[in-house]
Amino acid sequence: MEQIKHTHVEVRGLKLHVAEIGTGPKVVLFLHGFPEIWYTWRLQMIAVADAGYRAIAIDFRGYGLSEQPSEPEKGSFLDLVEDIVALLDALGISKAFLVGKDFGAMPAYLVPVLHPERVNGVVTLGIPFIVPGPKAVLTDLMPEGFYISRWLVPGRAEADFGRLDVKTVIKNIYTLFSSSKVPVASPDQEIMDLVDSSTPLPPWFSEKDLQEYASLYEKSGFRFPLQVPYRCIKSEFETTDPKVTAPALLIVGEKDYFLKFPGMGDYIRSGQVKHFVPDLDITYLAEGGHFVHEQLPEQVNPLIISFLNKHSN
């Protein structure tokens, strides 16, 4: 871990926190999800650097050690896409592999849709190609207490989270997302009430890991993370007939609760996703959950490195 270097890079008027290890022209840019930050990729960064790649992980704007935008409530996925391209420009990188997890998968796919010349290939964990918009997540087919539906309501998550310290909020969300069940609260509950305080952390996630996550969210808060991805997920993303022509790999943990979102399992398993990403390979890990890269790095890292090696020029 101590070999990972940390800097801030000015990108579109904001200083983004950049973690980096490895050198050379073959670049892999890692894009985190929620409730994560750059640290979620620590095991993958070291592995791909040892395999000869330059590994870079960022905190998205409004997350962790990166600066906050002046108007967080106007944030969108397009901001993340433009930040990624501007970061590559600032670092003098013409093309990179993009690796995305959770909502980080969305800009990982949208960059090659809008800027195909900048991407060598895409790897995503758990989340397939999805365009933000009214049909991105079919909340109307889920119960009222579905966590995304709750977090879409301005002020509701803020009040729920505000009852607890940041470390407990992160622990609770991480615990919920580690389950194979979709988080759904009853009408008389909030999402934080779904977790018993005595529930232990998953075996692959240490107290030190939790503290790393919590310390960065204590700095950034939840204002931008609630906007992106949650409150902007249904905003129209202007693109017609989007296609990802770059090679892609989707790694799916079969116990990831996301597979239980309405229509999502069928979208992946039936091959419909390949309409948008024709050169897509899909690998299923039977015991994998939502945080499959932290849970099973000994399986995930070789899959990523094999993909990188196959598609490196």
Domains observed in the chain: 5-311 (3.40.50.1820)
What is the mean predicted confidence (pLDDT) over 140-145?
94
pLDDT recorded at residue 135: 86
- Going by pLDDT thresholds of 50, 70 and 90, the confidence category of residue 53 is very high
Residues 6+ apart with CB under 8 A from 140: none
Strands 14-21, 280-285: parallel, antiparallel or unpaired by DSSP?
unpaired
Q: What is the 3-state secondary structure (H, E, C) of 11-41?
A: ECCEEEEEEEECCCCCEEEEECCCCCCHHHH
Residues 6+ apart with CB under 8 A from 221: none
What is the mean predicted confidence (pLDDT) over 187-193?
97
pLDDT recorded at residue 223: 96
pLDDT recorded at residue 236: 83
CA nearest 243: which of 279, 280, 276? 276
Distance CA 137, CA 131 (A): 10
Omega into 35 within 30° of 0, i.e. cis? yes
User: What's the distance, CA 258 to chain centroid?
Assistant: 13
- Going by pLDDT thresholds of 50, 70 and 90, the confidence category of residue 239 is confident
**Residue 283 confidence (pLDDT) above 80:** yes
Q: What are the helix (H) ranges across 165-240?
A: 166-178, 207-220, 223-227
Q: Give residue-wise pLDDT tens across range 88-134.
A: 999 999 999 999 999 999 999 999 999 999 999 999 999 999 988 88
CA nearest 23: which of 41, 5, 1? 5
Coil/strand/helix, residue 151 = helix
Q: Give residue-wise pLDDT tens across range 149-162.
A: 999 999 999 999 99
pLDDT recorded at residue 46: 97
What is the mean predicted confidence (pLDDT) over 252-262?
96
pLDDT recorded at residue 1: 67
Distance CA 257, CA 237 (A): 25
Give the catalytic positions in this structure: 102, 230, 290
Sheet holding 280-285, edge to edge: 5-11, 14-21, 54-58, 27-31, 96-101, 119-125, 248-253, 280-285
Distance CA 31, CA 16 (A): 13
Token representation of residue 248: 């892609």
Q: Count CB-CB contacts under 10 A for residue 124.
A: 26
Q: Give residue-wise pLDDT tens across range 169-181.
A: 999 999 999 999 9
Four-residue CA torsion sign, 75, 78, 84, 87: negative
